């Protein structure tokens, strides 16, 4: 077995050109400094900064070396409590033993089994595991791909092909990915599409029942927010995209990059009614909210709404690249063979890992832990909000399960925004995230608002959750003191 080696110990085949330039694989240019660059953590970071595409942003300029349960270790020696989970991916913690073993075992039998050539066993075993836990019994036709964006792309293709219609209605604040079609229906931040226009045509957006989007106070009733949002959706269907031209309505049951805002059950029920009335397909995006993240296996279960198509990824395989699109067989039977596919779609190693994830959820009673830890997390955050010094700076605590957010007031919000507070610290959320990192906690911001999101492992221990909450509270107080 090969021993673990740092990059400077790896031997590259090198040759000298006529001009003395060192060349490596395929004749590429190699400087002597680059050849021996991995002498320290700083060298590794510098190498990455020079050669990794600038379009990728990072939370920290560091190199991850090991993940173990709720912790990440870095090449510079730091070991940090991880409340990011790779952005909601490692729901069972880093390198879960059962999942890692299943993947390793699969590597000895079949690593790549292309889905357009034949079935493979892990693909079928995974369907067998998922069928009984779907939010509606009608969801019985599966297609596995690699990423959440690809799953969304597939759902859009399916909706257009099945209905013979072009238009897609998505939600203001929704996030569905950064590939071309997914980027067109992503409305959470302009950074994802800025400079890439023209985008895919036939996309229309409508407000989500979030008080920010209606310019209303945070304590506005759920009933009023739903009424306003359903009214705006009806206007879109009357003014912008006629029902006979509308293939699907796409929605995250909890806005992810839009601020961790759960959709009220009555809103999803209202959309289902509109879809049924006009033969429009309802696509539920559970990429981030799925696999126990909000306390049920899928968040849409809280509303009892039946998706026509549902997308999944992230926690599905606990870090192995895998996504899924599930629909009804009577719908997918209308697709032409060959219209769906992909070289790596439904990789056997990833599927084997996902089977192990499904088994671990049941064996380890993960949803019971989510319920207990969610109560503790929300209790801690509401206690912080009740602090007389901190409270005026916290606008909202929201979420479900272990998909929870804290929003801070801001002096930079537009005039008229109910969370505008000229005396609040600038850049509150990003500063809190940096302070948390200094204290040993990885945590992420989200949305165009001042929001911190909590995405700890679903099997996190009580002591680690308490540790993370204490670090967060201390970081918030530090930023308030700094002003």
Per-residue pLDDT for 24 more than 50?
A: no
> CB neighbours (10 Å) of residue 30?
16
Mean pLDDT highest for which of 31-35, 56-60, 452-456? 452-456
DSSP 146-168: SSHHHHHHHHHHHHHHHHS--EE
Spatial neighbors of 349 by CB under 8 A, at least 6 apart, are 103, 106, 107, 111, 122, 320
> CB neighbours (10 Å) of residue 418?
17
Distance CA 120, CA 262 (A): 37
Contacts of residues 380-386 at CB distance under 8 Å and 24 or more positions apart, as own/partner, are 380/466, 380/469, 380/473, 381/406, 381/469, 384/472, 384/473, 384/476
Q: Can you tell me the mean pLDDT for 443-466?
A: 98
- The model's confidence at residue 29, banded by pLDDT at 50, 70 and 90, is very low
Distance CA 259, CA 452 (A): 8
Q: What percent of the chain has pLDDT over 90?
A: 88
- The model's confidence at residue 38, banded by pLDDT at 50, 70 and 90, is low
CA dist 195 → 231, 279, 392 (Å): 32, 35, 38
Which domains, and CATH codes, for the chain?
98-363 (3.40.640.10), 366-482 (3.90.1150.10)
Distance CA 190, CA 448 (A): 9
What element of type H or E holds 80? strand 79-82
Task: Look up the pTM and report it.
Answer: 0.91
At 39 the pLDDT is: 61
Residue with tokens 């990824």: 313
What element of type H or E holds 442? strand 441-442
Distance CA 480, CA 452 (A): 15
Q: Can you tell me the mean pLDDT for 428-455?
A: 97
At 35 the pLDDT is: 47
Question: Terminus-to-terminus CA distance in the chain, angstroms?
Answer: 54
CA dist 338 → 53, 115, 116, 146, 348 (Å): 33, 11, 8, 17, 20
Per-residue pLDDT for 132 more than 90?
A: yes
At 416 the pLDDT is: 86
| Residues forming a β-bridge with 281 | 248
Per-residue pLDDT for 284 more than 80?
A: yes
pLDDT digits (tens, 9 = 90+) for 310-323: 999 999 999 999 99
pLDDT digits (tens, 9 = 90+) for 68-119: 999 999 999 999 999 999 999 999 999 999 999 999 999 999 999 999 999 9
Per-residue pLDDT for 2 more than 70?
A: no
DSSP E strand boundaries for 198-275: 203-206, 246-251, 254-255, 261-262
Distance CA 75, CA 78 (A): 7
pLDDT digits (tens, 9 = 90+) for 138-186: 999 999 999 999 999 999 999 999 999 999 999 999 999 999 999 999 9
At 31 the pLDDT is: 46
Could you tell me if 122 and 316 are in contact, meaning their C-beta atoms sit under 8 angstroms apart?
no
pLDDT digits (tens, 9 = 90+) for 237-266: 999 999 999 999 999 999 999 999 999 999
Distance CA 276, CA 265 (A): 17
| The pairing of beta strand 79-82 with beta strand 441-442 | parallel
444 or 419: which leads in pLDDT? 444
At 40 the pLDDT is: 81
Q: Angle CA(267)–CA(458)–CA(471) in degrees, nearest 5?
A: 100
Could you tell me if 2 and 34 are in contact, meaning their C-beta atoms sit under 8 angstroms apart?
no
């Amino acid at each position: 077995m090969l021993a673990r080696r740092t990059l400077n110990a790896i031997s590259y085949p090198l040759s000298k050109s006529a001009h003395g330039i060192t060349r490596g694989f395929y004749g590429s240019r190699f400087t002597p400094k680059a050849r021996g660059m991995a002498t320290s953590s700083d060298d590794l970071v510098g190498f990455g900064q020079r050669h990794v595409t600038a379009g990728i942003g990072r939370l920290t300029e560091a190199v991850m070396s090991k993940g173990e349960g709720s912790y990440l270790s870095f090449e510079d020696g730091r070991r940090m409590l991880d409340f990011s989970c790779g952005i909601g991916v490692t729901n069972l913690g880093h390198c879960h033993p059962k999942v890692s073993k299943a993947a390793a075992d699969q590597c000895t039998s079949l690593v790549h089994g292309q889905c357009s050539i034949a079935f493979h066993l892990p693909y079928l075993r995974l369907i067998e595991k998922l069928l009984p836990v779907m939010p509606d019994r009608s969801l019985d036709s599966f297609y596995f791909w690699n990423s959440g964006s690809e799953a969304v792309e597939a759902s859009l293709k399916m909706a257009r092909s099945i209905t013979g219609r072009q238009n897609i209605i998505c939600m203001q604040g929704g996030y569905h990915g950064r590939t071309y079609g997914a980027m067109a229906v992503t409305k959470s931040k302009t950074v994802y599409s800025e400079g890439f226009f023209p985008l895919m045509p036939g996309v229309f957006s409508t407000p989500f029942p979030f008080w920010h989007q209606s310019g209303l106070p945070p304590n506005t009733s759920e009933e009023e927010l739903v009424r306003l949002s359903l009214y705006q959706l009806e206007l879109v269907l009357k003014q912008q995209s006629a029902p006979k031209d509308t293939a699907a309505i796409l929605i995250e049951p909890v806005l992810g990059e839009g601020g961790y805002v759960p959709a009220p059950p009555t809103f999803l029920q209202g959309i289902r009614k509109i879809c049924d009335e006009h033969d429009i397909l309802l696509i539920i995006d559970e990429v981030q909210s799925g696999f126990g993240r909000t306390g049920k296996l899928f968040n849409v279960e809280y509303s009892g709404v039946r998706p026509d198509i549902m997308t999944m990824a992230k926690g599905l395989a606990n870090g192995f690249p895998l996504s899924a699109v599930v629909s009804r067989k009577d719908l997918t039977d209308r697709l032409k063979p060959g219209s769906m596919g992909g070289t790596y779609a439904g990789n056997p190693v990833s599927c084997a890992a996902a089977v192990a994830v499904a088994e671990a959820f049941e064996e380890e009673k993960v949803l019971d832990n989510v319920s207990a830890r969610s109560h503790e997390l929300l209790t801690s955050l509401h206690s912080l909000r009740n602090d007389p010094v901190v409270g005026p700076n916290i606008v909202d605590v929201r979420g479900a399960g272990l998909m929870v957010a804290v929003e801070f007031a801001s002096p930079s919000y537009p005039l008229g925004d109910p969370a505008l507070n000229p005396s609040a610290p600038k850049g509150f959320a990003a500063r809190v995230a940096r302070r948390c990192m200094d204290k040993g906690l990885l945590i992420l911001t989200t949305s165009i608002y001042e929001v911190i999101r909590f995405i700890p492992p679903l099997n996190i221990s009580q002591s680690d959750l308490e540790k993370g909450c204490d670090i967060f509270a201390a970081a918030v107080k530090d930023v308030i003191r700094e002003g």
